[in-house]
Amino acid sequence: MKTILVVDDDIVSLTTAKNVLGADYKVIIVKSGAQALTYVGKNSCDLILLDINMPEMDGFETFGKLRETESAAQVPIIFLTSDNDARTETKCFETGAIDFISKPFVPSVIRSRVARVLELEDLRKSLADRLEKKTQEVSDIKTKSRQDALTGLWNRAYTEEQVNAIINGGGCGSLLMIDMDNFKAINDNYGHIAGDQTLKMFADTMRAHSKESDVLCRIGGDEFVAFIEGCVSKSEIANLASDIIADLCRKIEEKNYNTNTSVSIGIAMTGTDGNEFTKLYNCADKALYYVKQNGKNSFHFFSDQSDAERERGSTKVDLKYLSEMLSRADGGTGAYILDFDSFHHVYNFIRRFVGRSGSSVQTLLFTAVSTTPDELEDAETEIALEMLDKAIYSSLRRVDVSTRYSSRQMIVILMDASTEDSSIVADRIIDAFEKLYIGGKVKFKYDIADMSKDMKLVQREQGSEEA
């Protein structure tokens, strides 16, 4: 049963209202605005009938104080008045009343007005509830569209939006591009459920090392981004990156995953490296690539590279000085290990050189094969390839070049070498590999091609076509 509060200093009006409405509603009667405020401060009601002309506190003043009370702020109010002046009626509606009823009461009128107002209020509440529900649904959908379903971290589009908003608002920060090394081996060896659990663990680790204002993102696969908001020093960011790497590696070790999984992080900072997301992302990606090419399981600041470039850019050199400086800078031993894209350019440069000079250059292709009837396992093959990498580096000269072509093959270019020399070198690489690799499940076979002969064959074919 709905509750109606009637506020009037006239006992006749109160009695009439209670007799007319009492059969259908719970009617509470009070004789002043002060009593009305006391009641709503402790109780709720569905409708208030409020007399205008009362001593001490009239209806309009009482109305204002009721609207300041939390429990009565939204309750519909009908003014009661014996004043039929049009200006009074206008003031009732301007004040915010939903209706007014003239006194003395006509029972049928007061019943119908009260019923209509309560019906409209029920409809308003119903629509408000539906609107709130729909608004929440839209908000939930919008939030889900911005989040990665597996980890709950933000996706790239929303992260880009948030990072740019922070920077454009005068904020600063550091963007960490984080990648798990050899994550695929977890999926392959322990299943995708274990892989998903590892990604969730990765996300939880990032949350544990971040604050509420930081923006955490899963780009996709095992690639993550963290924007650490605030003008934090380089040393503090370095400590944070070290902690993330150590914490995650410890957790993976506790899982007893035999996959050599680790973490690599590239770091770009606002101001020095860029002042918008795309620039920071590209810089952090280059820094991450540097880590990947230099042993993984570490972090690197892009600014360390750009600082060196700027330092070199401040000094002009001649060719003689440049030649001497580059020679001094490369006093190490071992083959150059390049990524495939860089190797591709070097390979074509060497081909053009061989075509013009006739130098003897050999190409070795190492291919992983199983030592058993079983198929090669990706995780084990990855370990074997890393051992072959080391064997190639330690077995070759500084003029030789190598790259990993695929998850099964590696290519080596031997400069100024004959086919016979290449066989000796290839066997030396295999011997070194077998000393390093203890798995026993993978071995490598090799093929040799003489690049100079291939070039002569191409030249002969071109000459035949021209003839």
pLDDT in tens, 411-439: 999 988 888 889 999 999 999 999 988 88
Based on the fold, state whether residues 100 and 163 are members of the same structural domain.
no
Q: Is residue 145 part of a domain?
A: no
Based on the fold, state whether residues 182 and 107 are members of the same structural domain.
no
Q: Is residue 441 part of a domain?
A: yes
Q: Is residue 138 part of a domain?
A: no
Based on the fold, state whether residues 306 and 330 are members of the same structural domain.
no
3-state secondary structure of 285: helix
Based on the fold, state whether residues 268 and 346 are members of the same structural domain.
no
Q: Where are the beta strands (DSSP E) in 60-201?
A: 77-81, 99-102, 173-181
Based on the fold, state whether residues 280 and 368 are members of the same structural domain.
no
CB-based contacts of 11, cutoff 8 Å, min separation 6: 31
Residue in the structure block whose two tokens are 């350019």: 345
List pLDDT tens digits, range 252-305. Answer: 888 888 888 889 999 999 998 999 999 999 999 989 988 887 778 889 998 876
Overall average pLDDT of the 139-157 stretch:
79
Count: domains in the chain:
3
Based on the fold, state whether residues 296 and 346 are members of the same structural domain.
no
Based on the fold, state whether residues 458 and 431 are members of the same structural domain.
yes
Q: Is residue 131 part of a domain?
A: no
Contact indicator for 371, 440 with CB cutoff of 8 Å: yes
- CA-based nearest residue to 402, from 357, 448, 366, 368: 366
Q: Is residue 454 part of a domain?
A: yes
Q: ∠ at Cα 120 (116, 126), nearest 5°?
A: 150
Based on the fold, state whether residues 200 and 304 are members of the same structural domain.
yes
Based on the fold, state whether residues 228 and 338 are members of the same structural domain.
no
List pLDDT tens digits, range 57-85. Answer: 998 999 999 999 988 998 999 999 887 77
Based on the fold, state whether residues 355 and 240 are members of the same structural domain.
no
| CA pseudo-torsion sign 363, 364, 367, 368 | negative
Query: Residue 349 belongs to what domain range?
Result: 326-466
Would the pTM of this model clear 0.75, i.e. be above it? Answer: no
Overall average pLDDT of the 378-392 stretch:
87
Residue 8 belongs to a domain with what CATH number? 3.40.50.2300
Q: Which tops the pLDDT comparison, 132 or 170?
A: 170
Contact indicator for 178, 217 with CB cutoff of 8 Å: no
- H and E: helices and strands count for the chain: 16, 15
Residue 165 belongs to a domain with what CATH number? 3.30.70.270
Based on the fold, state whether residues 309 and 335 are members of the same structural domain.
no
Q: Is residue 141 part of a domain?
A: no
List pLDDT tens digits, range 2-27. Answer: 999 999 998 988 999 899 999 999 99
Based on the fold, state whether residues 161 and 42 are members of the same structural domain.
no
